[in-house]
Chain A
Amino acid sequence: MSWRLWLKSKPKSVNLGFYGEVNAGKTTLANKIGLDWAEQEVGIVSEIPHETRDIQKLEKVNFSANGTKLDLTLIDMPGIATSVNPKEFMKHGLSASEAMQRAKEATRGIIEAIKYLEQVDVALVIIDASKSPFDQVNFTIIGNLEHQKKPFILVPNKIDLIEADVRLVRDAFSQYPVVPVSAIQGDGIDELYDKIAELAKRVRR
């Protein structure tokens, strides 16, 4: 095989970043993709906000959809927030010192997630479909991805919940690709894989 053919047959390496507000289900979705394609989870899921405070990666994820083979690195980012209040964590049963420690780590994690945006090739912007999508964080993330010309998919998550309102998300972000999913139940995941494969074609290596 010539080196050109070999290069063509080699799966393209793509950094897939998971961005979104806190507790939107980024890690749940990253774990679902990790388990589907590499039989590994990316991180721990918790109802306590800011469970993911460090950037977590899963490399060498051999992904294939619609005839497109990719060598994915899943990059699960800490949730982006404009405030971090230790008192919120204490409502979830953490002690004052645990809450303070978590808050300090969370602020550092947010800064790291923002810095890492440049390293991402394709982004999934996860939105909690059971809440109002009009959170400034969503608009700020999308604005920056557009500014940096990064391909991205809006992923309203938790569509299995009765409060989920996908139509509202579609209305709010009508000019962008939207693929609703339930990361926990797997609904919509195949459509998401097709879209990831489609957008990965735009990534230049």
Chain B
Amino acid sequence: MKYRVDFVPYSETNDLTDDEKIRYILSKVMRNTILVLENGLTPTEEMNLISKTMVKINFNDFVGLRFFSFDGGTDFKLNKLFGRGSKNKVFTVVAPNEAVTVQKDKRGILSIRIND
């Protein structure tokens, strides 16, 4: 299985409603895309994502997803990837369940391991 990683800038999802944002995420993830969203999810959006994911699970080619919202703190350098003017310090990684292991360790390092 081949997976694509999309770094999605703030401007891509900022104008979407909560439901549109969730639909956007699910449509991508269900097509084997791993998303790194600069405009991270709020806790409410995260719960909404879980609920909507449960509805979409078909037990064959989609059994759910994994995600992790990351608060990088004030000196987080990944913001530079998205250019200057980035407002959010929080980003969210969303991936198809089978694709990756997303894990944060006690030092705060977020590891994304892409499975074979």
* Residues on A facing B (Cβ under 8 Å): 80-86, 100, 103-104, 107-108, 110-111, 114-115, 117, 132, 134, 136, 139-140, 142-144, 146-147, 168, 171-172
- Is the CB–CB distance between A114 and B46 below 8 Å? no
Interface centre among B47, B54, B57, B102 (most CB of A within 10 A): B54
- Is the CB–CB distance between B53 and A82 below 8 Å? yes
**C-alpha gap A134/B107 in the complex (Å):** 11
**C-alpha gap A93/B115 in the complex (Å):** 25
Say whether, besides A168-B106, A171-B106, A83 and B43 are in contact (CB < 8 Å): no
- Is the CB–CB distance between B97 and A85 below 8 Å? yes
Say whether, besides A83-B65, A84-B63, A146 and B43 are in contact (CB < 8 Å): yes
Chain B interface size band reads 20 to 34
Nearest B residue to A144, CB-CB? B43
Question: Please, could you name 22 A-B residue pairs with CB atoms under 8 Å apart, sorted by A?
Answer: A82-B64, A82-B66, A82-B67, A83-B53, A83-B97, A84-B59, A84-B63, A86-B59, A103-B57, A107-B54, A107-B55, A110-B50, A111-B51, A114-B47, A114-B51, A132-B105, A134-B105, A136-B46, A136-B102, A140-B69, A142-B43, A168-B106
B residues within 8 A CB of A104? 59
B residues within 8 A CB of A136? 46, 66-69, 102
Say whether, besides A140-B43, A144-B44, A168-B106, A85 and B63 are in contact (CB < 8 Å): yes
Interface of chain B residues 30 through 49 with chain A (CB within 8 A): 42-44, 46-47, 49
- Is the CB–CB distance between B64 and A81 below 8 Å? yes
Q: Is the C-beta of B103 less than 8 angstroms from some C-beta in chain A? A: yes
Number of A-B contacts (CB under 8 A): 83
B residues within 8 A CB of A100? 59
Nearest B residue to A145, CB-CB? B43
Interface of chain B residues 1 through 55 with chain A (CB within 8 A): 42-44, 46-47, 49-51, 53-55
Contact among B44, B102, B104 for A147, CB-based, below 8 A = B44
B residues within 8 A CB of A132? 103, 105
**C-alpha gap A175/B78 in the complex (Å):** 26
A residues within 8 A CB of B57? 83-84, 103, 107
Nearest A residue to B60, CB-CB? A86
- Is the CB–CB distance between A82 and B97 below 8 Å? yes
The smallest C-beta distance from B9 to any residue of chain A, in angstroms, reads 22
